[in-house]
Homo-oligomer: A and B are copies of this chain.
């Protein structure tokens, strides 16, 4: 089952039991490819498992659900964003810090852009994934809310930190939607613009600096 030509990620230390047949990343590649070819709803978990040469049951040991197979290492990315926020100078205005963290969180090297576009197109356009995203974003919001709460001296579950977290998420999603509408457009620019709008508020007058 494990083709010798594709050791999942070079086994460094000695291990104890049977080695995994594949890896999350490998599985995700197969999944994304199939979704791109046929559409999310037209691909079954069995299809993905077969493409990866594993059993259907085993797929669910790598990903809790079909939906999850699209999200890559979101938990890891999230950890990075938390660290960026933790390590930002205490003097920096809250919204500047959040804006920079979000822009940084979504920085990609050119090679990954096509994959990331595909991933995000699925998440934002396929209803099942759109719905599921809410559950994924919950942790993202928690990170933002905790940061905002610290800055405001309020508990993280108070109204204002929660509003800020929801609003930042919304701004980021809206920016992503713009980015998807035109190939080669500037994601960081949209994110920056959306979050600046949040910082200055939607009330009149719009304060032209």
Residues on A facing B (Cβ under 8 Å): 93-95, 127, 130-135, 138, 148, 157-160, 162-167, 169-171, 173-175, 177-178, 181, 190, 193-194, 197-204
Contacts and interface: CB of A to CB of B under 8 A. Distances in A.
Contact of A202 (B190, B193, B198): B198
Contact of A171 (B166, B173, B199): B166
Chain A contact residues: over half helix, strand or loop, or mixed?
Answer: helix
A203 B162 CA distance: 15
B159 A175 contact: yes
A132 B135 contact: no
Contact of A93 (B94, B127, B158, B203): B203
Contacts of A94: 202, 204
Contact of A163 (B131, B163, B170, B204): B170
25 contacts: A94-B202, A95-B202, A95-B203, A127-B135, A130-B135, A148-B202, A158-B178, A159-B175, A159-B190, A162-B174, A162-B177, A163-B170, A163-B174, A163-B197, A163-B198, A164-B202, A166-B170, A167-B167, A167-B170, A169-B170, A198-B201, A198-B202, A199-B202, A200-B203, A201-B202
